[in-house]
Structure 1
Amino acid sequence: MRLATDRGKPWLAAVVLLWSCHAGAQAPVQPASAASTAVAQDIPFAPAHDTIITQKSSPDAWGGERTGNEPTLSDRVVSYTIDADLDATKHAVTGKEHMTWRNRSDRPVSSVYFHLYLNAFQNEGSTFLTERKVLASDGGSRGVGVLKKGQWGWIRLQQVQQGGTSLKWSFVHPDGGPEADQTVVRIDLAQPVPPGGTLALDIDFLSQLPRVVARTGWWGDFNLIGQWFPKIGVLELPGERGATQVRWNVHEFHFNSEFFADFGLFDVHLTVPSDYTVGAVGQLQGAPEQKDGKTTYHFVQGDVHDFAWVAAKDFKTLDGTYEGPGSPKVAVRVIYPPEYEASAAPSLKSSIDAIGYFSRTLAPYPYHTLTVVIPPYNADEAGGMEYPTFFTSDAYKYVEPDTYTQMLSDFVNIHEFGHGYFYGILASNEFEEPMLDEGLNEFWDNRMLRERHQDLVLATPFTKWLGITPHIDGFQYERMTAFLQRPHDPLAQNSWDRLSSLSYGTVYSRTTTAMHDLEARLGQPALEKAFRLYYQRWRFRHPSVADFRAALIDSSGNAKDVDEIFNDYVYGTAVMDDRVDAIDTSEVLPQAGVTWKDGKETEVVVSDLDKQIDKQREEWKKAHPKAKPGDPGPFPWHSTVTVVRTGVPVPELLRVTFEDGTHEDVTWNDDRRWVRFDFTKPSKAVSAELDPDAHNLLDADRINNSLTNTPDGAASRRWTADIAAVLQTFYSMLGTL
C-alpha cells in the first residue's frame, strides 16, 4: 500500500442503523445474541498486542522450504470457487462461494473463523472507524473520506452450509475491539474437521461496496472490489511465526492494518454489465460469455492468497508483455479511464521495468499476468493498493518527463508491483509485521531507483519551464520522513499499537533507512545475496521478522552488524546522533624551559625563544617567496578534532581536511561517548566531517556531522545566484507580455 500523508480531511460521519439491510436481502441466519471473545474456544487466538517476534520459525514451518520440485508453487491450504454477480447500479455483489480448507493441525477443529472485511465500513462503531478517529488526527493517513447516506459498505452472510447442513455463526473480537465491530465471524461446524482432514463450506453472501474510502469501493461507474468475500483465517502451528501452540491468527480489521491469509487456488466467475471493462487477479479462461446484456468472465489463479477485481464503465486497456529468464511470458495490462490516458503508457513501462528488476535481483516473476488499474477522478483513495498479480496506481492527466508527475507515477508503480514479492510471494503477516512488507518493499524500490540513477524529482511543469528541476536522492528523502529524532514505536511493532498514523508511516521510511545503513555495513553484494536467501527460504510461506534476521546473519556471517540494527531499530527505538564538536589548532613552536641531553642541562628562556621563532619565520619567507596562504610554513601544526556521541554507537569515518588541501580519514568504531583525535601536520585542520560518504543515514541530525574553521559562502552564493536567475527569467517573461 502507498501511504498518503496529504489527504486528511476532518472526519465526519453520520449515525446510521447497525443493520443497513440491502433491498431484497434475506435476513441473516445467526444466534439471537452476538458473541464476543467470551465464547469458549478449543483453539486460542493469536495475541492482540504481544506480537513482536524474536524467535525464528522452525525449518519445517508451513510445510518446509519450497524446493521448486513440488507440483504447485505453494502448499495450497485453501481453495475458493466463487460465482459473483455485480449489480452496477447498487454497487453490490451477490456471491456464492464454495471453500475447501485443510486442517494442518494435530487436533480436530470444531469452529472456524472468517474475515468479513467490508463490515469495517458499515458503521462508526467498527474497529477500523473507531481507530481512525484517534490515529488519523495527525493528518498522516489515507482512508479518511467521509461516508454519507447510501455510501456505507458491508458484507452479509446469508447462508453457510456444511454438507447440506445449515450452520450458525457469531461475531467475535479477537483483539478486544468494540462490540459493534463485525469484521471477524465464528462459524460453528456440524462436523469437526479431523487432523489432516478437509472442510468444505458453501456460503451465500451479499457484499455492498462502500463509496471509495480505503483500498476498495465505488465512485460513479467505477468499482474496485477488494476484500469482498468471506475469507478464512490462518491456523498457525507451533514453530510458525512465534507460535508456541496451535492458534487462530484472525485479527479484526484495524485502521492501519492490511491482511494475512493462506495460499490457495481461486476459481472465480464474474458477471457484470456487458459495457463494463473487467480486470482481476489471475488469468482469463477462454472467451467471456455474453447473455441478456451481461458478460461473465472466468479467472483462475493458483498459489496466491487473495483475489480482487475491477469493473468500470467506459475504461480502456493498454497491453504489453514481459519476457525474461526463468519467468513465463507475462501479459501486462493497464486498465484506465479516458481522462487519465497520459498515465497509461508510463504505467505500462515502469511496471514492465519493475518485473525485470525484481526478477533479476530476487527471483524470476512466477505468474503469467499483471494487471494495473488507474482509478478515475475522485477515486484516488482506490489508488496505490496491491493484490497478487493486480495493483492500482496513481492517476495524472499529464505525465511530463523530469517532473514530479513522472517520478510519482514511476515510484507508485514500482512500489505496488514490488508488493507482489514482499506481500504476495513472501506472504508475511501485514497485520502484525508491516515492516516485512511495506518497509522492505520500500527499501527495494529505492534500490531500483538508485540503479536507474532516478532521483525523486520535485519539479513541476512550471518550474521546469523556468529552468528549475530540483531533485533529491530517494534514500535521503526517506531519511527526512523517518522521524529519527523521536521514534515512538519499534519497526517490528504491529500496525495498530502505534502512537499515530505518522508513527505507522515510519514503517516505510525508517525501515528503508535502517536497511540502507545495514547495506552500507555489509556491502551491496552481500546484502543482495542475503535478501535472495531470505526469498528462497520463505517464498510461498509466511516468514517473521526473526526469520528475516536469521537469513541476513546466515548469508552474511556478520551477526554483529545485523544484531545492532535489529536491537536498536527493529526491536527498539534507539536514536543515533554523532557530531563534530570542535576543531582546535595551534602551531607546534619551540618550547621554553629546561631540557637534558647527554647529561647536560639546557635552558631556553622566553625572550630568546621569541627571537629564534622570528628568525626562523624570516628565513622561511626568504626561502619561499612565492608561498601562498595555506601552504605549509616554517612550523608544523597540531590540530585536535573533538567528536561527541549522544545516541547509540555506530561505526563512523571521520574525514579531516587540512589547509593545504590534503585530508586524513580515521575510524571511530567503539563505545566511547566522546573522542579527541590529534593530528600533527604541515598545515592546520580547517574542516572535519563524520560519515562523508553518507553510510549512516539513521543519524538523526546530519547537519552537525561537519564543522569548519573558516566561513564558507558557497551555499549562500549558490542560492543567491539561483534566486537571481529565477527573477531574471520572471522579468524577461514580463517583458514579453
Structure 2
Amino acid sequence: MKPTVTGWLGALALCGATAMPALVHAQAQAAMPAPATSVATPAPVFTPIPFAPANASAPQVPSAPDAWGGPRTGNEPTLSDRVVDYRIDAALDAGKHAVSGKEQLTWRNRSDREVRSIYVHLYLNAFQNEGSTFFTEREILTAHSGSRGAAKLEKGQWGWIDLKQVTQNGAALKWTFVHPDGGPKTDQTVARIDLAQPVPAGGSLTLDIDFLSQLPRVVERTGWWGDFNLVAQWFPKIGVLELPGERGATQVRWNVHEFHFNSEFYADFGRFDVTLTVPSDYTVGAVGEQQGAPVTANGKTTYHYLQGDVHDFAWVAAKGYKVLDGSWQGPGSPKVALRVLYPPEYAASAQPVLKASTDSLTYFSDTLGAYPYRTLTAVVPPYNASEAGGMEYPTFFTAEGYKDVTPGTVTQYAIDFVTIHEFGHGYFYGLLASNEFEEPMLDEGLNEYWDQRMLRERGQGLDLTNSLLRRTGFAPSISGFALERMSADLKQPYDPLGENAWDRLSSGSYGTVYSRTATAMHDLEERLGKDVTERAFREYYKRWHFRHPSAADLRATLIDVSGDAKNVNEVFDQYVYGTAHIDDRVANIDSEEVLPPAGSTVANGKHTDGDSTAQDKRIDKQREDWKKAHPNARPGTGPFPWHSTVSVVREGAPVPQTLRVTFADGSHQELRWNDDRRWARFEFTGPSKVVSAELDPQRRIYLDANKLNDSRTVESNGAASRRWSADFAALVQAFYSLLVSL
C-alpha cells in the first residue's frame, strides 16, 4: 500500500496531540483580566515535530558538514556520538519462547526545541497478525515473485511485543499506536509515548519500560524453532530524531517508519548494558562483550553483556549448541575474540564460517577501515530454521549451515559468500549506520559490491563442476560479478536503486537492490579505476563511520576523490536516481572492394570509351597475378583496397564504449564511442575487409542488458552459442546439486 499525504497529515495531528492541554491552559489564562499595569504576552504555540515523509528515499542533496556532530576524529571520549543508552534486564521462558524485560531508556534531545512525545519501534508486532503492514505488503509484493519471509504462521506461532508499563520519574505514561507511512490501522509497529515532562532542547529523557516479547516461529530475521531462539528486534527501540542538514532533512523530524515487509532498520548509536537469564543448559551468544563469568542459580544462568557505540542488540539462546573459538588482530584494531555457535548437525560448517569471518576482518579492515570492536559472534541456525540465517547485527550475525562443505563445491562458495556478506553488514549497516528503510542500496547494495570485490581478490567464483563434469575434464566456473549481473534485471528495471524499501513493484524488484547496485558499482569502478575507487570508499568510511550517510554523501565523496564528476554523476543519475538501462549492439557490417570505377574516364584530355568488358578483364588479371604472388593470402584481402562500414546502435542510456574491429588479415583496430548519439557508423578503408566487430571487448560493462548482441561476424560462428549453452547447462546442474545439498 502506497502511503498518502493524507496519512502523513493525520500522523502530524497525532504527533501534536500532547500540545492540547498546554494550549487550553494558555487560552484560559488569556481569558482572565490582566492587571492594568501589564500587557498580556501571547503563549508560545507548540509546533508538532513531523515525520519523515512516507515516500522518503535517497536524498540528492549532500548532508551538512557538521551532520551528526561532524566526522569522528578518534580523539573523542567515545567512538560514536552516543544519543541513547539502554539498560535491559531480560529473562527467557524457553517453553513459551517469550522474553520478559525491564528496560531503562535514556535518550538525548539533539534538537533546538522541546520534545513532548517520543516514538518507539515495536518490531515484533509485525508478526502478531495478518493485519500488520508487514503481512499486508507481503501478500502484494510476493504475488508474482519469490521472497524470504514467506513462511505461514499457525496457532501458537505468532509473535508480538506488549508494553506493560512506561513511566517517567515515577509517573505512568500513555501510548498510542501511530502510522507514519499511512499503513493499515491494524499495524502496531510504531507507538507514540506522551511524556509527563517535555524534554528541553539539549536535555535528556529517562523512561522505565516493562515489556513482554513473544517470539514468533522463525519467519524472517527473528524467532524460534525447537530449542533455538534468535532474539532480535525484541525490545522497544526509540526512533531517530533527524536535524536539518542530515540525510536530506530540512527541518527537525522523526524518522520512525513502520516495519515494512522488505525494509530493515535505522537507529541512533548508543550503549547497551544487558543481562540475559536463560535455562542453564542453553548456550548464549550476543552483541558485545560478556562481563565476567555467568551466574547460575536454581537451574537458570544469567549473562551480562556490554557494548558501546552500536545501534542494536540481538542474542541467541539454543539448547545443545557447540562453540568454536578463534581470535584475530589487525593494524589499528583491538584483539578480536571470534566465536561460532553451531548445532551438531552442521559441525562441518563451523570451521569454514570461522575462517571466512577471519578473512573478512582482514579484508574489510585493510580496504575500508579498522574494525573497532573486541568481539565477533557468528551463529549457524539449525535444520528447519534457515529463515534465521543470513541476518546481521553489530558484532553478531547469523550464517548458514551445511552438513558437507567440500572445498571447491557449491556449498563452499555458498557458506563463504553468506558469511562474508553478513560480516560486511557490520560495516555498511553497522559502522556506517545507513538508513535501511529509505536507502537499502547503501547497505545491501554496497555490501554486496564489496563482498564480490573480496571474493575477486581471493580468486573465488562459483565452481559449476560436479562429479560427472570433473570426469569429462570440463570444469566451468562463473565469477561473482557475473552472477550478480545475471540476477540484476538490467533489461527493464522498474525501481531506482535509491528508492526506499517498500515502494517497489515486487519483492523481486527489491531483490535487485543487491545485484544491480553491485553491478553498477562494478562498472563505475571500471570507469574510475580499481585503486581510485578503493581510495574513495576508504574516504567514505573515514568521513561517515559512526554517522548516517546518504546516497548523496556517497556520490560527493566519490567525486571528491576521483575528480571525475561526469562518470560518477552519470551512474548515479541513471541508476541510483533513475531506471536507465544499457543495450548497445553491433547492428551491421558491410564491406566492398574499392575497384577502378566503371564508365568513361579522362586521360590526356581524351575520354575513354568506357568498355566495361575490358575493365573486368583487367581486374581479373590483377587478381590472378596477386593470388600467384600471395598463395597463402586470407579471404578478404587482395590487390584492391576494401571499404568497410560498421554500424552500432544504442537502445538505452549512453555509456563509454570501446569498439574493436578485426580485419581479414588478422589485424584489428580499437575506437572509442563516447557520446550521446543513438547510432554511429564507423568507416574503414584498407588492404583487407572487416570480418568482425565487438563492443566492450574486455567485458567491463556489466550493466549492458544483452551482451550477446555486442559482437557480430561476417560469417556465422557457433562457438559463442555453444559456450553459452554449455555454461547454462553447467549452471543448471550446479543449481540442482545445491538443492540436494540443502
TM-score, normalising length: structure 2? 0.90
Distance in 1 separating the partners of 2:89 and 2:564: 52
Q: Match of 2:312?
A: 306
Cα offset, 1:558, TM superposition = 0.7
Equivalent residue for 1:587, pick from 572, 586, 593: 593
1:429 to partner: Cα distance: 0.4
- 1:444-478: CA deviations, max 9, x gaps? 11111111111123345665577554311111111
Q: 432, 438, 459: which is aligned to 1:426? A: 432
| Deviation per residue, 1:527-555 (Å, 9 max, x gap) | 11111111111100000111111111111
- The correspondence for 1:696, drawn from 692, 701, 710, is 701
Structure 1 segment 79-478 matched on structure 2, within 5 A: 79-460=85-466, 469-478=475-484
Report the 3-state secondary structure (helix = DSSP H, G, I; strand = E; otherwise coil) of the residue aligned with 1:477.
helix
Aligned 8 A contact 2:58 2:550 in 1 = no
Please name the residue that 1:13 is paired with.
none
Unmatched segments (≥5 aa) in structure 2: 1-9, 17-47, 731-742
1:52 CA displacement = 3.4
Report the Cα distance in structure 2 between the residues aligned to 1:500 and 1:723, rounded to whole angstroms: 26
Pairing partner for 1:640 from 642, 645, 660 = 645
Q: Secondary structure at the match of 2:143?
A: helix
Residues 1:678 and 1:63: Cα distance change in structure 2 (over 3 Å):
same
- 1:86-121 CA-to-partner distances (Å, cap 9, x unmatched) read 111100001011111000000010100000000000
> Against the structure 1 CA distance between its residues 599 and 322, is the aligned structure 2 distance closer, same or farther, given a 3 Å change threshold?
farther
Q: 1:423 to 1:461 in 2, by over 3 A?
A: farther
Structure 1: how far apart are the matches of 2:180 and 2:365? 38
- Taking the TM superposition and a 5 Å limit, the aligned residue runs for 1:621-660 are 621-624=627-630, 626-630=631-635, 632-660=637-665
1:39 alignment counterpart = 14
Identify the match of residue 680 of structure 1 among 685, 690, 709: 685
Letter in 2 for 1:663: H
Aligned pairs, number: 690
For residue 199 of structure 1, what is the amino acid of its counterpart? L
Classify 1:718/1:384 alpha carbon distance in 2 versus 1 (closer, same or farther; 3 Å). Answer: closer
Change (3 A) 1:316 1:461: farther
Classify 1:205/1:598 alpha carbon distance in 2 versus 1 (closer, same or farther; 3 Å). farther
Tell me, in whole angstroms, the C-alpha distance in 2 between the residues paired with 1:698 and 1:631: 35
Question: Using a 3 Å threshold, how does the CA distance of structure 1 residues 75 and 716 change in structure 2: closer, same or farther?
Answer: closer
Per the alignment, residue 577 of structure 2 pairs with 571
| Inter-CA distance 722–527: structure 2 relative to 1 (3 Å threshold) | closer
- Once the two structures are TM-superposed, the CA of residue 617 in structure 1 deviates from its matched residue by 1.4
Aligned counterparts of 1:437 and 1:117: Cα–Cα separation in 2:
20
Note closer, same or farther for the CA distance 1:230–1:589 as it changes in structure 2 (3 Å cut).
same
Say which SS state the counterpart of residue 62 (structure 2) adopts.
coil
Q: Which residue of 1 is the match for residue 42 of structure 2?
A: none
The one-letter code matched in structure 2 to 1:429 is: N
Matching of residues 472-551 of structure 1 within 5 Å: 472-551=478-557
SS state of the match for residue 301, structure 2?
strand
The answer as to whether partners of 1:280 and 1:309 remain within 8 angstroms in 2 is: yes
Residue identity in the other structure for 1:434: P
Q: Cα gap change, 1:721/1:598 in structure 2, threshold over 3 Å: closer, same or farther?
A: same
Q: Which residue of 2 aligns with 1:709?
A: 714
Task: Give the partner amino acid of 2:629.
Answer: A
Unaligned runs of at least 5 residues, structure 1? 1-34, 726-737
Query: Does the C-alpha gap of structure 1 residues 718 and 666 become closer, same or farther in structure 2, counting only changes over 3 Å?
Result: closer
Are residues 90 and 462 of structure 1, via their aligned partners in 2, closer, same or farther at CA, if it must alter by over 3 Å?
A: farther
Conservation of the 8 A alpha-carbon contact between 1:582 and 1:641: yes
- In 1, are the aligned partners of 2:627 and 2:633 still within 8 Å (CA)? no
2:241 and 2:300 map into 1 onto residues whose CA distance is 39
Q: Does 1:671 align with 2:676?
A: yes
| Structure 1 letter corresponding to 2:373 | Y
The Cα shift of 1:43 comes to 0.6
CA distance in 2, matches of 1:150, 1:301: 34
In 2, distance between residues paired with 1:312 and 1:649?
A: 54
Counterpart AA for 1:202:
D
Alpha-carbon offset, residue 585 of structure 1: 1.0
Offset, 1:601:
5.9
Partner AA of 2:380 in structure 1:
I
- Summarize deviations over 1:703-735 as a string: whole Å, max 9, x none: 11111111224356769999999xxxxxxxxxx
Structure 1: distance between partners of 2:645 and 2:715: 16
Render the CA deviation track for 1:310-367: whole Å, top value 9, x for unaligned: 0000000111111211111111111000000011111110111111111111111111
Letter in 2 for 1:634: P
CA deviation digits over 1:12-44, x for unaligned, max 9? xxxxxxxxxxxxxxxxxxxxxxx9664142211
Q: Which moved more, 1:463-472 or 1:628-637?
A: 463-472
* Corresponding residue for residue 26 of structure 1: none
User: Scaled by the length of structure 1, what TM-score is found?
Assistant: 0.91
State which drifts further: 674-683 or 112-121: 674-683
Match of 2:568 among 523, 538, 562: 562
The code of the aligned residue for 1:590 comes to P
CA contact (8 A) 2:339 2:378 kept: yes
